[in-house]
Amino acid sequence: MNCIRVSVLMAGFLLAMGVAQAKSPAAATDADLLARVERVLAKTPLIDGHNDLPWEIRTREGGVDLNVDHSKMPAPADAPKDYVGLMTDIPRLRAGHLGAQFWSVWIPATTTGPEAIKTTIEQIDIVKNMAAQYPQAFQMAYTADDIVRIHKAGRVASLIGIEGGHQIDNSMATLRQMYALGARYMTLTHTLNNDWADSATADPQHDGLTTFGRAVVGEMNRLGMMVDLSHVSPKTMKDAIAASRSPVMFSHSGARGLIDHPRDVPDDVLLLVAQNHGIVMVNFYPGYISQERARWDSDHAAEATRYNSPPYVGLYIGQPERAAAAMAEWERLHPPPSVKLAEVADHLDYIRKIAGVESVGIGSDFDGIPITPDGLDGVDKYPALLVELARRGWTDADLAAVAGGNMLRVMRANEAVARKLQATEAPSMAKIERDKDHASQ
């Protein structure tokens, strides 16, 4: 009798294990995983932290028709060799189930002073005109609740992010007016240092944030404008997190523990992000997610300089045809390494491991990067990335968090802090002149 009971129990256990294996992520088909992802995205808006389409609209002659799937359009006859078609359009946004987009109102880091303010306002105007021109697809959003409401209505909630502190021209009043125009985050630097913060890709000048820089962070907290730490140096990251009373964000970065690139976030900063309840939104640029590709990019740049770097350097200086031929031969012998969608998922996995699943999001940098990983060439491919995460065992709750739930939490926290601060604090009147001595150190 006992033997029979044991046999029955063992049979039941094996049957249960078989069912569990059939339902495990490893055994699920891609169709099953995609169905899971689509169910998640029906309830949770997928929020991308960074897209540079506004600058593409500004610079492409003849305008841009976003109702057209640009992935199916041939390159113009006079297009340069490195021509890249648009990565963003309405048909592919629909296919990618995008719920909300922070449109970057980027301007060059070399554009400073009053011209920077003017150009930034023109970029904001492009975003608002885009929403007005395609009302069936886009609607301007300014709060987390706006995102949820617009997503339920079947449109893409459109938000504005400023990509560099140089765009306010060292003026608290300008910062406030940018918020009034709709900007809901500001990246503290772009590729160059500004007068009050060090960039990740320039020699340190201020040892992080100056006193005025910390005042900027404080005023952003008071306004409810999120502090974006992509592009800044590790010391600036730490200074800003220490100064901020609200959760911070990285709108488009990766994990430096996987690739030693200054645009990515070191492990010790990831731990601070977790303590701050902030978010790192993972960038898709191959050179920031693959060490092999980063080395190739560096070698490619060095080779180009070796052949022709006016006005003084280069084997073929003043001979552009010979330089171009030599470069083409080098590229033939040294093809760029392929970078896969799975490597983006590796960064999401890594940040989750260090900072927790509540601290990770997606910040593609579409239309701001010249190339993408294989399988992530446009805004229709977000579900493929989430399918890869599901295949790795991410639960529906995890997928909802990375897709948009974490960003909604960060936004709501910034909004709540702003309400409290506005009840007790006056607008900052800090001036950059107070930091002249510090900035020269």
> pLDDT by residue (tens digit) across 234-247?
999 999 999 999 99
Q: Are residues 409 and 433 in the same domain?
A: yes
**What domain range includes position 297?**
291-338
Judgement on whether residues 151 and 199 belong to the same structural domain of the protein = yes
Residues 139 and 97 occupy one common structural domain: yes
Asked if residue 13 belongs to a domain, the reply is no
Q: Tell me, yes or no, whether 170 and 298 share the same domain.
A: no
Same-domain pairing of 36 and 57: yes
Does residue 241 sit in the same domain as residue 332?
no
Q: Which two tokens stand for residue 370?
A: 């010249």
- Average pLDDT of the segment spanning 146-166: 98
Residue 376 placed within a domain: yes
Indicate the number of domains in the chain.
2
Give me the chain's average pLDDT, please.
92
* Band (76; pLDDT cuts 50, 70, 90): confident
In a domain, 102, yes or no: yes
Same-domain check for residues 176 and 53: yes
Identify the pLDDT of residue 326. 94
- Would you place residue 73 in the very low, low, confident or very high pLDDT band (cuts 50, 70, 90)? confident
Lowest mean pLDDT among 68-72, 249-253, 401-405, 422-426: 68-72
Could you tell me if 84 and 153 lie in one domain? Answer: yes
Coil, strand or helix at 21: helix
Residues 93 and 69 reside in one and the same domain? yes
Domain boundary among 318, 338, 358: 338
Residues 310 and 227 in one domain: no
pLDDT band for 437, please (50, 70, 90 cuts).
Answer: very low
Mean pLDDT calculated for residue range 148-152 = 98
36: left (phi over 0), alpha (psi -120 to 50) or beta: alpha
What CATH number does residue 83 fall under? Answer: 3.20.20.140
Q: Which residue carries 């078609």 as its tokens?
A: 85
Whether residue 2 is contained in a domain is answered as: no
In a domain, 21, yes or no: no
| pLDDT bucket at 3, cuts 50 / 70 / 90 | very low
Task: Give me the mean pLDDT over the 374-392 stretch.
Answer: 97
Higher per-residue pLDDT: 54 or 437: 54
Average pLDDT over residues 307-311: 86
Q: Does the pLDDT at position 299 exceed 50? A: yes
Catalytic positions, written as ranges = 50, 52, 163, 190, 231, 252, 365
347 and 239, same domain (yes or no): yes
Q: What is the mean pLDDT of residues 407-418?
A: 98
Q: What is the pLDDT of residue 439?
A: 42
* Residue 165: strand pairing partners: none
Each residue of 332-377: pLDDT tens digit? 999 999 999 999 999 999 999 999 999 999 999 999 999 999 999 9
Question: Could you tell me if residue 42 is inside a domain?
Answer: yes
- 233: how many CB neighbours lie within 10 A of its CB? 26
Asked whether residue 60 is domain-assigned, the answer is yes
- pLDDT digit string (tens) for 12-45? 433 333 433 434 444 689 999 999 999 999 999 9
Candidate from 42-56, 134-148, 172-186, 310-324 with smallest mean pLDDT: 310-324
The mean pLDDT of 98-114, rounded to a whole number, is 98
